[in-house]
Amino acid sequence: MSDRGIPASPRFMNGYGSHTYSFWNAHGERFWVKFHFKTRQGHRTLTNEDAEAIIGRSRESYQEDLYRAIEHGDHPSWTLYVQIMPEADAERTPYNPFDLTKVWPHADYPLIEVGVMELNRNPDNYFAEIEQVAMSPSNLVPGIGASPDKVLQARIFSYADAHRYRLGTHYEALPVNAPRCPVHHYHADGQMNFMGLKSGAPDAYYEPNSFGGAKQAPEFREPPLKISGDADRYDHRAGNDDYSQAGALFRLLDPAHQARLCANIAGSMDGVPAFIIDRQLVHFDRADPAYGAGVRTALRARAILFEEDALPRHDLASARV
């Protein structure tokens, strides 16, 4: 709903892994990690009115902008940063570090620069190189692992399952999805097998065998999670705060940006029953009183909320959310 809700182009927006992943090393040490891709082009955004005018001319404006920039040699790039949290810290943070809706304060876990990602070539065949891409968080290389992030856990199996339905059984062997390095495994045959004997597997599909087949490399085995107790407790952490981070973000915006944010929210509430609006206003008040007041002002400007409809301030604490 804020100004950054409609980037002018993918070139002018950040990218976030959002989920909590983990790094682990040969010593069996694990660290929780978040990935950040910061645009090196700066941020440019559109208002709702700007977006309406652009979409009226072309519904493919994002693809057109990205394609033309790359073709003209104006290669967009992003700096990759990571935030690193020691494994034991997850037991002590006042927020659930595996909650997809939470951010890790940069003062506690500063951004560490890793490198740069640059887009410098357009696809030769859009279908083969773009439509058939099958990205999934289950594709993890040794040294990177998952976490108790529940949405990530769901995506680990659901994305690959969707790709099997969308592209076929051996989607991972398509050139755009296949590893660039040799892979030694015992996958063979099955529907849509176009690999032949390229996997390097002998005529034995188990391990160990007597034919010199691939063997598990124990040095790359992921260490066990050291989280004590049931990971479900992260969902019910005592004093879990769902409002402070939203309020902090609101206070980072300048007054004009805050006004546009409130106006966008008010516009989305047109036609919503009054009792639902009242319930939602409680959330904004709890994030920051000025946030709730700004949305009320925008609602009244649109004649969506009237003074007699507004929830009295002294009822906020007892309002059902």
User: Residue 236: its pLDDT value, please?
Assistant: 54
**pLDDT at position 278 over 60:** yes
User: Residue 137: its pLDDT value, please?
Assistant: 93
Superfamily name and number for 3-179: Catalase core domain (2.40.180.10)
The token pair that represents 147 in the structure block: 């976490």
Nearest to 213, CA basis, from 223, 198, 226, 203 = 203
User: Residue 277: its pLDDT value, please?
Assistant: 94
pTM: 0.84
User: Residue 315: its pLDDT value, please?
Assistant: 47
User: Residue 231: its pLDDT value, please?
Assistant: 59
- The answer to whether 6 touches 58, Cβ cutoff 8 Å, is no
33 membership: H or E segment, kind and range:
strand 30-39
Rounded to whole angstroms, the Cα distance separating 234 from 95 reads 9
List every span in the chain annotated with CATH 2.40.180.10.
Answer: 3-179
For residues 115-120, give the mean pLDDT: 98
- The answer to whether 120 touches 170, Cβ cutoff 8 Å, is no
Please state the φ and ψ torsions of residue 82, each to the nearest 5 degrees. Answer: -130, 150
**What are the tens digits of pLDDT across the range 188-233?**
777 787 776 665 566 777 888 887 777 888 888 888 887 655 556 5
- Of 143-157, 165-179, 248-262, 297-311, the one with minimum mean pLDDT is 297-311
User: Residue 321: its pLDDT value, please?
Assistant: 46
- Neighbouring C-beta atoms of residue 308, cutoff 10 Å: 6
**pLDDT at position 124 over 80:** yes
Amino acid at 123: P
User: Residue 264: its pLDDT value, please?
Assistant: 93
**What are the tens digits of pLDDT across the range 230-276?**
556 566 556 678 899 999 999 999 999 999 999 999 999 989 999 99
